[in-house]
Chain A
Amino acid sequence: MLDLLVGALVYSNLLALMAVGLSLALITCRVSNFAHGDFAMVGVYVAYTLSVVAGLTPYAWIPAAFAFGGLVSLLAYLLVFEPLRERTDLVTLMVVSMALDMVLRYSLHVYADLMQQWLRVYTRLFMFDDFLVEAAGSRLPGVLPASTAVVAALLASLYVLLYKTRVGVAMRAAIENPGLAEALGVSVRRVFALSWFLSGALAATAGVFLPFRIMVSPDTGWSMLLPTFAAVTVGGIGSLGGSVLGAYLIGFSETVLAYQLAQVGISTAYRPLLTFAAIIVTLLVYPRGLSGLWSGKGWSLRRRS
């Protein structure tokens, strides 16, 4: 039972970071970014490489993963999405992000092959060693406190950045009405570039926690992607606060439902069906999602033009 709770919480923490990042891409360039899962895998391989080469636990390399994942995402914005931002339709942007997913995923595969020969370690289906913490008379995996602390710190910093700084004001202005913000002297390009950096950085950070729970390979990003979309959709597309809420809702219900299925003898392999169904049902029944319930108030950013 405790295992179940730990699993659900860690999974939800990861989803929260992923979902906020995906939301940032959605509200800035209106890209349903299918390459978002790959940013997480970039984080995994950065932390893995560094911890093999330089020693130390992968936790120590979170800042490096954060920076590198952000950089990859920033490049994706500057080279691909910025030039296309006002020029093409939403579906084409999505198709382009799928193409980017192919480029990143298979580049990571090539990297995994090279890394295997270079460092003589398994580069597919590997896991990270975790430490254990004693709490309330039982031993918990370290990834639980570590991911919770990192998620809380990052989300709090993001909140402060968006609501308490001048850059944050500019970011919110550029998101809500790029044309007006530009007219008032905000460099939309720079502000969006920052958003994209954060988007990839948050995903890459989430990625570092992944191999503490499951075995990963470059394709794992894809299996994280649809749950992330489910979290964003259920939370309400375009709302950062909604995304966080959606992440915990999806994370917990997926884990608990999979457990319930196993109890009645149905394979847990059907687990992804819940998230897929959540996407479809939310979009068809109440497309505004959870944040639609408090729309306009609180931590909700939406493009209004």
Chain B
Amino acid sequence: MVATSEVLAFVVSLGTLYSIYVILSSSMELVYGELGLPDFAKAAFFAVGAFAAGALSVRLGAALAGIAWEGEFKLRSYYYATLVSAKVAENPLMGLVIFVVPLLVAVPCAVLLGVLASYPALRLREDYLAITLIAFSEIVRVVARNYEPLVGGTFGAGVVDVFAWLRSPWRELAMMLTSALFAFGAWLLLYRLSRSPFGRVLRAVRDDEVAAAAYGVDVARVRAWAMALGSGMAAVAGVLYAFYIGSVNPDDFTVSRTFLVVLMVTVGGRGNPKSPPLGAAVYLALDRALLFAKRFLPVPFDVNYVAYAALGVLLILFVMKKPEGLAPERPLLTVDAEATEGVTSRT
């Protein structure tokens, strides 16, 4: 018999993760789905958010609480994270500051990097661009992994529990609601943008860059804007992820993470703003279903491996059998070509 509280904890945890993935895939849909720019450095922008939380939350918390720091960051960050969390338990305002400051640092950093990353797109064919961004993403990961003062290198970094002032079920619920709020905001932004003139410009650039430029669209500017927005969103997701997990590990931000987000957008339907919530739901449902299967199937190997292989198969099947995804992109509402022909031939 499973206790109600266990089910609740499972749902709340899943809800938080779902919200984070909705933000990430919304940002991917904006840049890759609508604009057609393969932003395969998404894991790096996600990491910028997580690293900001990992590098700042404990240090800032210790400074605010007046705790003197001793020893190396990589060895002591988890210990001080616990100390600071205890202080946050008595002072919710401090938790708020520790939550907001990483956001305020991460988002501008990611926006700047995003704008920078949009420039190679002017020169490179799209597949070379994707490889360039993957190389960039790996540079960020390898540096974070080896430069220990940032987030402790392979040791990782502890992150303060900013909701420590609440008691157990409420604490997780607060985390979920915060994430859900951000997720809804990110998705709404994507949805409104997609339906706005800006969204039409994005798709025009995607479908024919030269034609869009001929109509007076400043392609470089549009790309810079979209990358700035997309990267900023990914950084928000990264900050939330760090606070949700409670620690940061550079090896969590590999190209596989980017691939998962691309998978969500592709399965959901590229070019349709409904794809992020749909794709993220499909991914998490499959992932959790396989974890449940693990309990009942006594197989002589780790079921997680099967889960990943199954995700790969899922994506290949979608591209081959249903490339438009679960929610196909809706064509623009324009005047029917035959109707206009009728009018012109009558005159």
Contacts and interface: CB of A to CB of B under 8 A. Distances in A.
A83 B143 CA distance: 40
Contact of A229 (B131, B306, B308, B311): B131
B301 A114 contact: yes
A100 B314 CA distance: 10
Given A80-B316, A99-B315, A277-B139, A91 B301 contact: no
A276 B136 contact: yes
Contacts, number: 128
Contacts of A272: 138, 142
Interface string A81-108: 0011000111111111011111101110
Interface in B99-155: 120, 123-128, 130-132, 134-136, 138-139, 142-143, 145-146
Contacts of A98: 255, 259, 262, 312
Interface size class of A (residues with CB under 8 A): 35 or more
A267 interface: yes
B131 A233 contact: yes
A283 interface: yes
A267 B82 CA distance: 31
Given A102-B311, A113-B301, A226 B135 contact: yes
Contacts of A280: 120, 132, 135-136
Interface in B152-207: none
Contacts of B142: 269-270, 272-273, 276
B232 interface: no
Nearest to B38: A91
Do most interface residues of chain B lie in helix, strand or loop, or is the interface mixed? helix
B63 to A, nearest CB: 29
A93 B145 CA distance: 30
Interface residues of B, number: 41
A91 B132 CA distance: 13
Interface string B283-320: 00000000000000000111001101101110110011
Contact of A100 (B128, B308, B316): B316
Given A96-B316, A273-B139, A280-B135, 13 more contacts: A30-B127, A90-B127, A99-B315, A100-B312, A101-B312, A102-B311, A106-B312, A109-B301, A110-B301, A110-B309, A117-B300, A283-B128, A283-B132
Interface of A: 30, 32, 80, 83-84, 88-96, 98-103, 105-107, 109-110, 113-114, 117, 226, 229, 233, 237, 267, 269-270, 272-273, 276-277, 279-280, 283-284, 287
9 contacts: A80-B320, A83-B320, A91-B130, A92-B323, A99-B315, A99-B316, A109-B305, A272-B138, A276-B142
